[in-house]
Amino acid sequence: MTPLSNGDVSLPPSLEWKFSQVFGERAAGEEVQEVDIISAIEFDKTGEHLATGDRGGRVVLFERTDGKDHTIRKDLEKKDYPVSRQPEFRYKTEFQSHEPEFDYLKSLEIEEKINKVRWCQTANGALFLLSTNDKTVKYWKVQEKKIKKICDMNIDSPDTASNGRSPGQNGAASDFVFPPGGFPSLRLPVVIVGHETNLVPRCRRVYAHAHDYHINSISNNSDGETFISADDLRINLWNLEICNQSFNIVDVKPVNMEDLTEVITSAEFHPTHCYTLAYSSSKGTIRLIDMRQSALCDSHAKIFEEHDASGSRSFFTEIIASISDIKFGNDGRHILSRDYMTLKLWDLNMESSPVATFQVHEYLRPKLCDLYENDSIFDKFECCLSGDGLRVATGSYSNLFRVFGCVPGSTEATTLEASKNPSRRQVQTPSKPSRSFTNLARSRRRGAENGDANGGSYDFSTKLLHLAWHPTSNALACAAANSLYMYNADDTPPE
* 438 has pLDDT over 70: no
The values of phi and psi at residue 12, to 5°, are -70, 150
Asked whether residue 80 is domain-assigned, the answer is: no
* 448 has pLDDT over 70: no
* 434 has pLDDT over 80: no
* 436 has pLDDT over 60: no
Task: Give the residue-averaged pLDDT of 438-448.
Answer: 32
As a 3-state breakdown, the chain gives helix, strand, coil percent values, each rounded to 5, of 10, 40, 55
Asked whether residue 113 is domain-assigned, the answer is: yes
Asked whether residue 184 is domain-assigned, the answer is: no
Range of the domain at 126: 15-23+34-65+86-139+208-423+459-491
Put the strands of the sheet holding 400-405 in their side by side order: 383-385, 391-395, 400-405, 413-417
**Domain total of the chain:** 1
User: Exposed, middle or buried: residue 22 (CB in 10 Å: 0-12, 13-18, 19+)?
Assistant: middle
pLDDT at 9: 55
With contact defined as beta carbons under 8 Å apart, do 392 and 475 qualify? no
If pLDDT is split at 50, 70 and 90, which confidence band does 425 have? low
* 170 has pLDDT over 70: no
In one-letter notation, the amino acid at residue 181 is G
pLDDT at 164: 42
Asked whether residue 126 is domain-assigned, the answer is: yes
Q: How far apart are CA 223 and CA 336, in angstroms?
A: 22
If pLDDT is split at 50, 70 and 90, which confidence band does 465 have? very high
- ∠ CA 168-169-170, rounded to 5°: 90
Pick the more confident residue, 176 or 338. 338
Q: How far apart are CA 432 and CA 33, in angstroms?
A: 11
Q: How far apart are CA 261 and CA 252, in angstroms?
A: 10
pLDDT at 325: 96
Give the least confident one: 48-57, 63-72, 244-253, 311-320. 63-72
* 157 has pLDDT over 70: no
For the chain, percent of residues with pLDDT exceeding 70: 80
Q: What CATH number should be reported for the domain holding residue 279? A: 2.130.10.10
Q: How far apart are CA 45 and CA 53, in angstroms?
A: 18
Q: Find residue 268's DSSP bridge partners.
A: 278
pLDDT at 167: 46
The values of phi and psi at residue 366, to 5°, are -70, -10
pLDDT at 116: 97
CA distance readout (Å), 234 to 209, 254, 298, 339: 13, 11, 10, 21
**Buried residues in 199-222 as b, exposed as e (16+ CB within 10 A):** eebeeebebeebbebebbbbbbbb
pLDDT at 8: 47
pLDDT at 457: 61
The values of phi and psi at residue 164, to 5°, are 75, 25
Asked whether residue 108 is domain-assigned, the answer is: yes
Give the least confident one: 28-37, 179-188, 367-376, 453-462. 453-462
pTM for the whole thing? 0.81
Sequence-separated (6 or more) residues with CB below 8 Å from residue 65:
88, 89, 90
> In this structure, how many other beta carbons lie within 10 angstroms of the beta carbon of residue 161?
14
pLDDT at 327: 97
Give the least confident one: 76-80, 215-219, 254-258, 373-377. 76-80
With contact defined as beta carbons under 8 Å apart, do 120 and 169 qualify? no
Question: For the residues of 40-59, what is the DSSP string, one character each?
Answer: EEEE-TTSSEEEEEETTSEE
pLDDT at 78: 52
* 239 has pLDDT over 80: yes
If pLDDT is split at 50, 70 and 90, which confidence band does 2 have? very low
User: Exposed, middle or buried: residue 2 (CB in 10 Å: 0-12, 13-18, 19+)?
Assistant: middle
For the CA atoms of 296, 298, 300, 301, the dihedral, rounded to the nearest 10 degrees, stands at -20
pLDDT at 52: 97
User: Across all residues in the chain, what is the average pLDDT?
Assistant: 83
* 84 has pLDDT over 70: no
pLDDT at 298: 79
